[in-house]
Structure 1
Amino acid sequence: MVSTGAVPNLAFRRLRGQRSAGEFAAAVRRSAREIGERVACDARYIGRVESGEIRCPNYAYERVFLHMFPGMSLADLGFPPRETVRGRGARATAGASSPPVPHSDTDEESDVLRRVFMTSGTTALAAVPLSPGLGGVSAAAAAASDRHRVGEAEVSAVEKAVRRIRLLDDRHGGDGLYRGASQPLRAAYALLDSGTAAKRSTADRLHAGAGELAISVGWLAHDSGRFEDARSHYAEALATARLAGDPALEAHSFCNKSFLARDTGRPRESVRAAEAGQRAARPLGSPRLLALLALREAGGRAGLGDRSGCERAIGRARTAFGRGPCDADPEWMTFFQEAELEMLEAQCWSALGDWSRAARHADRAIRLQDPHFTRNLALYRAELTWDLARAGRAAEAATAGHRVLDLLDRVRSSRIRTMLAGATRALVPCRDATEVREYLERYAAVSGASA
């Protein structure tokens, strides 16, 4: 038998220090909870990493490790580059007769999304998202379910797909992920259509998981500028929520519908959706959820030019947010920390034309943001660039714009690029200033636009 050639990861072993593998695994689990991630880390997993059996961690573990050791890269932790271990890049590298095929993280992550149901342990279900004939995917899933009742494995696979999409979106934005994510969504709804869940609790989880998956895929469409697709996915999630009598899913659906309406110039609809979301959320006992929905309402009211109504909604949001997190907070709300609250308030003042006030909140959001949320950091910096440009602070806006450009090789989000393009156009009249001219030249080189 050929040796696998595993190389011990001595750097990772040094980081463990004097702690036992079990103690270190417990520290990993604690760190995961701090950032809203779930990993089933134990002493055996740590041993597999240190022995070199696990050459590169999955994305959930990567995020946790980088949170535990700020400022360190995967290489510093003793792991080889991901593209040499996984995906098409690794396979290409293995071929001696041909050069490696360029392969980005986002390409590989789309592959991960397409394979996510393979973890269910059910061959028939695993085939669903990989079927070349997408038109018959529902029938294929229903036929598979006739032979195998839907249970824990399938529901867990749906829930895993939701978490995977959210993690990858935090890293890269929606543009490169949307198409790969739609296949698991079709498979999830095919399972719902089959109606073969073994227990009521399983059926409830499947409805919730499929609805959350629809919202997650809708968000990828939203972030990548596919607004009609996003509207369809959010409506699908809302219908699922109402069919299942799930107020938590209903509140989430209305939250995203409000956000989309604001982004597509329908502020009155944004307010109505946010108010409906608040009605659904009140019995759930989550002040943070009510805070986010109040901010969605504030954004809609700002779009209507209703300054006093916007201020009242922001006040309600800050009061609710100040009550702190609780066990009733939905899992999907891990992104909603103080940085996001500041950003959403910045967008309200920006919509109302109070540019300097908006810039103060956007700058505060950047300072508070966890650097692991790369997409959000780029978004906040784009907002700051826009607000500073409109406030007449051109040199500061150019500096902020440079910092957005620093992240665009890692973030693929049409929404962020559109925001930055608007801010850049606002800076063109100030191009005689050295800082602005240098920024415009760099922006043109990166985006391919005329400076």
Structure 2
Amino acid sequence: MAETPSLFEQVCTAHGWDTPAKFIRAFEETAALLAEPTTVTARQVRRWWRDVPPPRPRARAWRVIHAMLGVNPVELGFPNPPPGVTVERAPLLAQEGISVDRRAFLADSIGVVAATGLPEPVAHLSPTGRQGAIGTTHLLELREGLRFLYRLDDSYGGGDVRPLAVRHLHRIRRIINTSTYPDALGRQLQLLAGETAEHCAWLYYDTEEQDQARRYWGEALTTATMLRDASLAILVLASLSLQASHEGRPRDGYDLARAARDQAARFGSPALQSLLASREARALSLMGDHTGARRRLAEAMRLLDRSDRGRPAPEWAAFHGTAELDFAQGLLHVENGHHDRAVPFLRAALEHQDRTYGRNRALYRLTLARSLIQGGDADEGAGHARDCLGHLDEIESGRVMQRLSEVAGLLDRVDTADARDTAQQLRAYAHARGAA
């Protein structure tokens, strides 16, 4: 007769770690997530599963196991914690005679398919332990949900994605406030809440609801301060700089970008420094300091060329590249009133922009159309604007629609039949989208 698996082995099997190799892979991922320098061997895993009582893990391994399962290892049959580990004992799973079966997944998804009709898989949360115990599996699934929202925003803009992000943030907060987890995992959940609040702010910014954007950026900055997390603080400061410049507060935009750059200096990431230098350049240009703006933008380009020599940029800065700097250079010429000089850079930005960034491509094309019209080539500008209309059916972005209205207004002042007809098409389209 086969030996009955231990409670710890049953719990591991319920999470899908039914072989030592699978357990070791999950253990190493969790250790990396928690920055715990520890490893485990297949022999150790087998002894933890089969010995009675199992040998007590060292302090670092104990913390990793606790985070993986969201359960105090004492409740799974291990001896008392080793020195250096302080955990509360709570009767989560270890009850006399309990059997931990594989539970059905909860229908607790971010609802993306239902809300958008897109052919993407619904992200389910794995089942929690008794009394709402949370492990790293849940954290990784929640983080993947945020990445999915990033991808949707890149492709389709913030309008339809924003309510999904707000719901995702509510879910994370609910888990933080109603579930059981170790301190190390709690910090990661709080950080994820801050990152999700920042993304909510960005989505409100993209839909031109700036007061709401400020509110969520304020929440994210509070989280960064509480956790002393420089990466999140840099992200928020960089975003607030962009908003300040967008709202006509370039001095604030410059100071915020400088504050972000000061914090980012120790990270040693040329790509991140390039992004922040481009934010400074944008603010300086709007302040009328075109010489300073050119210098900072040139520095941003030099830093991007050196991005393979230092640390990589954080994941949130993946969008920054050649297309972004081409666009920034084009805007610099626009602020100088040199629309003819802006056009080649705006063309290059559109050409270099990855097609996965659908919202940015629409914004770039309409900005190119605007500069062509202002530079005296209304026919080509009108053509780009018309070409954009079909693509805009996929986009829900207040910034893009604002740029569309600017182009329509410029075409209204051009005394040709083609310009007037295009302006009428753009206004009709914008009206229909507003009525929807």
In the TM superposition, structure 1's runs of 4+ consecutive aligned residues that sit over 6 Å from their partners are 103-106
Amino acid corresponding to residue 152 of structure 1 in structure 2: T
In structure 2, the partner of 1:239 is 222
Correspondence for 2:392 among 394, 403, 408? 408
Answer yes or no: is 1:171 the counterpart of 2:155: yes
Q: Which residue identity is paired with 2:281?
A: A
TM-score (norm 2): 0.68
Structure-to-structure mapping, 1:16-95, within 5 angstroms: none
Could you tell me which residue of structure 2 aligns to residue 295 of structure 1? Answer: 278
CA distance in 2, matches of 1:236, 1:279: 21
CA contact (8 A) 1:271 1:301 kept: yes
Shift of 1:446: 1.9
Q: Which runs of 5+ in 1 are unaligned?
A: 1-102, 125-146
Residue 329 of structure 1: CA displacement?
1.4
Q: Tell me which residue corresponds to 1:282.
A: 265
Partner residue of 2:128 out of 105, 111, 122: 122
Residue 105 of structure 1, CA deviation:
8.7
Given residue 199 of structure 2, which amino acid in structure 1 is its aligned partner? S
Change (3 A) 1:387 1:205: same
Alignment of 1:203-218 (within 5 A): 203-218=186-201
Count of residues paired in the alignment: 320
Instruction: State the 1:327 CA deviation.
Output: 4.8
Q: Which letter does structure 1 place at the counterpart of 2:206? A: D
Contact 1:207 1:241 in 2 (8 A): no
Q: Which residue of 2 aligns with 1:221?
A: 204
Residue 345 of structure 1 and its aligned partner are, at CA, apart by: 2.5
Contact residue 411 and residue 419 of structure 2 kept, 8 A: yes
Is 1:396 aligned with 2:405?
no
Q: Which amino acid aligns with 2:211?
A: E
* SS at structure 2 position matched to 1:329: coil
1:314 aligns with 2:297: yes
Shift of 1:434: 4.0
The answer to whether the 8 A contact 1:121-1:153 is kept is: no
Distance 1:247 1:414 in 2: 30
Q: Secondary structure at the match of 2:395?
A: coil
The letter of the residue matching 1:155 is L
Give distance in 1, aligned partners of 2:265 and 2:178.
33
Structure 1 residues 429 and 353, CA gap change in structure 2 (3 angstroms) = same
| Aligned residue type for 2:117 | E
Query: Matched residues in 1 for 2:410 and 2:296: separation?
Result: 30
Q: Given the alignment, which residue of 116, 124, 128 partners 1:107?
A: 116
Task: Note closer, same or farther for the CA distance 1:441–1:240 as it changes in structure 2 (3 Å cut).
Answer: same
Task: Give 2:363's aligned amino acid.
Answer: L
Q: CA deviation at 1:380?
A: 0.5
CA root-mean-square deviation: 2.5
Q: What per-residue deviation string (whole Å, max 9, x for no partner) do you get for residues 45-69 of structure 1?
A: xxxxxxxxxxxxxxxxxxxxxxxxx
> What do the CA deviations read for 1:329-370 (whole angstroms, capped 9, x no partner)?
111122112112211222233233222222221111011112
Q: What code does the residue aligned with 1:245 have? A: R
CA contact (8 A) 2:172 2:193 kept: yes
Pair 1:440 & 2:423 matched: yes
Change (3 A) 1:225 1:104: farther
Equivalent residue number for residue 39 of structure 1: none
Alignment of 1:290-439 (within 5 A): 290-325=273-308, 327-430=311-414, 432-439=415-422
Change over 3 Å in CA distance of 1:104–1:246 after alignment to 2: closer
Say if 2:232 is the partner of 1:249: yes
1:160 to partner: Cα distance: 1.4
Q: How far 1:192 sits from its partner (Å)?
A: 4.2
Percent identity reads 28
* 2:250 and 2:286 in contact (8 A); partners too: yes
Deviation at 1:417, TM superposition (A): 0.6
SS at match of 2:394: coil
Query: Measured at CA, do residues 255 and 107 of structure 1 come closer, stay the same or move farther in structure 2, by a change above 3 Å?
Result: same
Deviation, 1:169, is 0.7
For the 8 Å contact 1:257–1:273, the answer to whether it is kept is yes
Residue 107 (structure 1) shift: 2.6
In structure 1, what is the equivalent of residue 52 of structure 2? none
8 Å Cα contact 1:261/1:269 also seen in 2: yes
Query: Which letter maps to 1:414?
Result: G
Aligned to 1:63: none
Give the Å deviation of 1:199: 4.4
Distance 1:171 1:417 in 2: 15
Q: Which range moved further: 284-293 or 323-332?
A: 323-332
| Letter aligned with residue 382 of structure 1 | L
Provide closer, same or farther for how the CA distance between residues 156 and 104 of structure 1 changes in structure 2, counting only shifts above 3 A: closer
Check conservation: 2:128, 2:134, Cα contact below 8 A: no
Q: Mind listing any 5+ residue stretches in structure 2 that lack a counterpart?
A: 1-111
Q: Secondary structure at the match of 1:335?
A: coil
Q: CA deviation at 1:387?
A: 1.6
Instruction: Read off the aligned partner of 1:397 and give its amino acid letter.
Output: G
Q: Is the 8 A contact 2:282 2:328 kept in 1?
A: yes
Structure ID, larger Rg: 2
The equivalent residue for 2:166 is: 182
**Are positions 1:260 and 2:266 aligned together?**
no
| Residue type at the aligned position of 1:119 | L
Which residue identity lines up with residue 379 of structure 1 in the other structure? Answer: L
> 1:204 Cα deviation (Å)?
3.6
Q: Tell me the alpha carbon deviations over residues 62-106 of structure 1, each in whole angstroms, 9 at most, x when there is no partner.
A: xxxxxxxxxxxxxxxxxxxxxxxxxxxxxxxxxxxxxxxxx9996
TM-score after normalising by structure 1: 0.66
Q: Using the alignment, how far apart are the partners of 1:427 and 1:159 within structure 2?
A: 45
